[in-house]
Amino acid sequence: MKNKKLIGFYNYTVILTYIGLASTVIGMTQAIGGRFRIAIVCLALSGLCDMFDGKIARSKKNRTEEEKLFGMQIDSLCDVICFGVYPAMICWLLGVRGLIGWILLCFYCICSVIRLAYFNVLETKRQQQEEGANKYYHGLPITSMAIVLPLVFLLQIFISSQLFIYVLYFSLFIVGFLFITDFRLKKPNNMILTILVLVVAVAVVIMILYSTYRIPKWSFPNTGFFDWLRNAVRG
């Protein structure tokens, strides 16, 4: 009887990626239950894992080409869930609704997938020509939403619920658009990464201590043409 092997590659280089994915799955269950503070903490934790999983992967010097490609693919697949679908889900649960809400949520998710697919193409070609890590991003990295959304969520302590929803709409559009905009962004060094981690950590602590967010009954848009369209759809 032949020994059966599991498909995939199992070593410490992908553990942090899986921890980030697990954090996202837990966060999804909390967001559905309306526990947004825990959901945002899980998103920030997933972002923290993604910041350092590449450094851990590159510490293994004897990786085969198949292991490198597997790591790149598994990272992108997890990123689609953690920083594409999950933030969109949080925004919808927070109150991004209606026709424009659907359009922006779909736009954000499509842009995130395009960005990751393009990254995979470029990175595969680059690894065939040179060693080491790429020093620049092309477009805004998808992990950025793990920084943007906690900071945006913090705003709801200081602004009205209606204005907060508008900020969510704006954030989805701008971040999604920057995902697919071709500009070179230098990868942050360890000092900048540390600052980003501290900023998000402070935002999370303030959010945990002071946030009492409840989903508002108000939903954009709710007047004029969109009222007519909503009634028409309902029949």
Instruction: Write out pLDDT tens, residues 118-177.
Output: 988 887 777 666 665 667 788 899 999 999 999 999 999 898 888 999 999 999 999 999
Q: Using CB atoms within 10 Å of the CB of residue 67, give its burial: 0 to 12 exposed, 13 to 18 middle, 19+ buried.
A: middle
**Residue-range domains of the chain with CATH:** 12-234 (1.20.120)
Q: Which regions of the chain does DSSP assign to beta strands (E)? A: 136-138, 184-186
- Encoding tokens for residue 56? 């851990």
Look at residue 138 in the predicted model and tell me its pLDDT.
85
- Encoding tokens for residue 125? 């070609």
Residue 29 and residue 26: Cα distance in Å, rounded? 5
- Encoding tokens for residue 117? 């697919």
User: Residue 36 — left, alpha, or beta (φ > 0 → left; ψ -120 to 50 → alpha)?
Assistant: alpha
Answer for the pair 101, 163: CB distance below 8 angstroms, yes or no: no
Q: Using CB atoms within 10 Å of the CB of residue 82, give its burial: 0 to 12 exposed, 13 to 18 middle, 19+ buried.
A: buried
Look at residue 19 in the predicted model and tell me its pLDDT.
95
pLDDT tens track, the chain, 235 positions: 445 578 888 888 889 999 999 999 999 999 998 899 999 999 999 999 988 887 787 777 787 878 888 888 899 999 999 999 999 999 999 999 889 999 999 999 999 999 999 988 887 777 666 665 667 788 899 999 999 999 999 999 898 888 999 999 999 999 999 999 988 888 888 888 889 999 999 999 998 888 877 666 544 444 444 554 555 445 4
- Encoding tokens for residue 124? 């595969």
Answer for the pair 68, 133: CB distance below 8 angstroms, yes or no: no
Q: Using CB atoms within 10 Å of the CB of residue 13, give its burial: 0 to 12 exposed, 13 to 18 middle, 19+ buried.
A: buried
